[in-house]
Amino acid sequence: MKIVTFISDEQNKIAPPEDIGKLVEDCTAAALEEEGIDDSAEVSVTFVDNEGIRELNKEHRDIDRETDVLSFPLGDDENGYEVDPDTDAIMLGDIVISLEKAKQQAEEYGHSYRREVAFLLTHSLFHLLGYDHVNSEEEEKEMFGKQDKVLDKLGITRES
């Protein structure tokens, strides 16, 4: 399985974790493996600040406040995912993370900034894979359990 990533940093307040490319690839590969998907995959990750994510949240969800992560899937369960003809990878979608919010949450929850970014990546990846925790308590339990399994598999704990 090959993971193709496109990473863009559109803010200048907080640097992404040093190993961000590897972190995105590892989280993506582990999430796909958890879902039993062997295909190569493509994902786009954009880093913004709180103001940037607030604007996107308002534009796409009509919610005028900051959030930590937004997910924009390109496929769904019914129609599947398109394949990028250049990379031969399924196109999962786009992830937007506020690094400013990630830093705040890491401090609030008492774990590392890297762990918070990995959590947000993994959380968003499962949204790209079709999970939604908002409307179903059962699906929330399943999604959060899968997130924990992926982070545990990668050795990313609340202490790391």
Let me know if residue 143 belongs to a domain.
yes
Let me know if residue 132 belongs to a domain.
yes
**Rounded distance, CA 9 to CA 101, Å?**
14
Let me know if residue 82 belongs to a domain.
yes
DSSP state of 89: E
Let me know if residue 69 belongs to a domain.
yes
Let me know if residue 25 belongs to a domain.
yes
What's the pLDDT score for residue 78?
A: 66
Let me know if residue 158 belongs to a domain.
no
Total of domains in the chain: 1
| pLDDT lower than 70: segments of the chain | 76-78, 160
What's the pLDDT score for residue 60?
A: 96
- Tell the burial category of 7 from Cβ atoms under 10 Å away from its Cβ (0-12, 13-18, 19+): middle
What's the pLDDT score for residue 5?
A: 96
In the beta sheet, which residues pair with residue 42? 4, 91
Q: Which range of residues forms the domain containing residue 131?
A: 3-153
pTM flag (> 0.85): yes
Task: Tell me the CATH number at 78.
Answer: 3.40.390.30
**Rounded distance, CA 38 to CA 90, Å?**
10
Let me know if residue 29 belongs to a domain.
yes
Residue 66 contacts by C-beta under 8 Å, 6 or more apart in sequence?
Answer: 50, 51, 53, 54, 57, 98, 101
156 within 8 A of 123, measured Cβ to Cβ: no
What's the pLDDT score for residue 160?
A: 55
**Rounded distance, CA 65 to CA 69, Å?**
12
